[in-house]
Every structure is written in C-alpha cells, then in structure tokens.
C-alpha cells in the first residue's frame, strides 16, 4: 500500500541545495514514487526565463534516487549516490517547463536487481498533462565510491 508523504526531497537524496531539483516526495511504495518540482527564475537550469523540458529527465532520475533513499531510510541507511546509466524512449511533448508551476514526477520500478542495476518508467506531468516520459536505467552499488575510484572488480 502506498505511503502518502509530505517529505522534503532532500531528506531522501544525496543532491543538496540547487542540485536537488525535487521539492517534496508525496507518495512512495515498493514499486513507485511520486514527487513534486517547481522551477523558478533562480533555478539552476533556468536560462533567459525558461527551463528546457530535457531537465525533466534529471527530475525523473532524482525521483528514482528518492525511491532508493526512501527504501534505504527504512533500513536506517543514509541516501547514497547512484548512477544514471542511460535513458531510452525519452519523449518531450513540449520544449519548455513552465516556471512557477508545480510538476508531478512519477517513477515506476520495472526491475531492480540485487547488484543495484535497475530500470524505471518515468513521467513528468503538469496540470495540462504529460510533459515528458522516459525509461531510465540506473546503477546503485553498495559502495559507489569504490566504483568511482576504480571501477568494479569481479
């Protein structure tokens, strides 16, 4: 059963400050997470009063990280970094995200392997409907620093 939440996204994410694009996590369960995001003129990716819809891909990736952070928090773990390996079927219906509009970011787990490899379907929506969708592939190893410093050793 989904947990309805009103939780600051930074509590579940390794991203902090202007790098954290999500505002709140409003729903989470074993299979999905729903978050909100609002872009303003002082937002990191705002240029000439606009934010490109491609930024919604990072919002979806951060929602996946928040999903992992939510589950880690239930085990007493702190949020850890993960890796966006890629996306497929990324489709933007509009070129720009409207400023000062609350966006709804939804991710749905398709597969999560024990080694940390996972795939999620993502959506970015506003009051008018779907802005963007993608399939997101991520990797969340037990020791991300070891991966950064020297790669995986088998």
Find residue 97's DSSP bridge partners.
51
**For the chain, what are the domain ranges?**
3-150
Secondary structure of residue 153 in the 3-state scheme? coil
Can you give the pLDDT at residue 107? 98
Hey, how many other C-beta atoms are within 10 angstroms of the C-beta on 99?
Answer: 14
Contact yes or no for 34/22 (Cβ under 8 A): no
- pLDDT, tens digit (0-9, with 9 covering 90-100), for 99-143: 999 999 999 999 999 888 999 999 999 999 999 999 999 998 888
pLDDT tens, residue by residue, 38-55: 999 999 999 999 999 999
| Rounded Cα–Cα distance for residues 7 and 45 (Å) | 23
Residue 52: helix, strand or coil by DSSP?
A: strand
Whole-angstrom distance, CA of residue 71 vs CA of residue 77: 9
CATH of 3-150, one of 3.90.1010.10, 3.10.129.10, 2.60.40.10, 3.50.50.60: 3.10.129.10
pLDDT of residue 52: 96
Could you identify the residue written with the tokens 């989470």?
A: 28
In the numeric block, which tokens belong to residue 8? Answer: 């600051």
Residue 44: CB atoms within 10 A of its CB come to: 14
């Amino acid at each position: 059963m989904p947990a309805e939440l009103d939780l600051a996204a930074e509590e579940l994410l390794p991203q902090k400050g202007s790098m954290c694009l999500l505002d709140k996590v409003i729903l989470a369960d074993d299979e999905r997470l729903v978050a909100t995001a609002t872009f303003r003129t002082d937002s990191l990716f705002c240029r000439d009063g606009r934010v490109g819809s491609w930024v919604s891909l990072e919002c979806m990736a951060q929602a996946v990280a928040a999903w992992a952070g939510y589950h880690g928090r239930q085990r007493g773990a702190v949020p850890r970094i993960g890796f966006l390996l890629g996306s497929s079927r990324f489709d933007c219906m509009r070129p720009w995200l409207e400023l000062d509009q609350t966006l709804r970011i939804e991710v749905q787990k398709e597969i999560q392997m024990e080694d940390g490899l996972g795939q999620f379907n993502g959506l970015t929506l506003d009051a008018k409907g779907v802005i963007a969708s993608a399939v997101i592939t991520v990797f969340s190893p037990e020791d991300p620093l070891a991966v950064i410093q020297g790669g995986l050793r088998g």
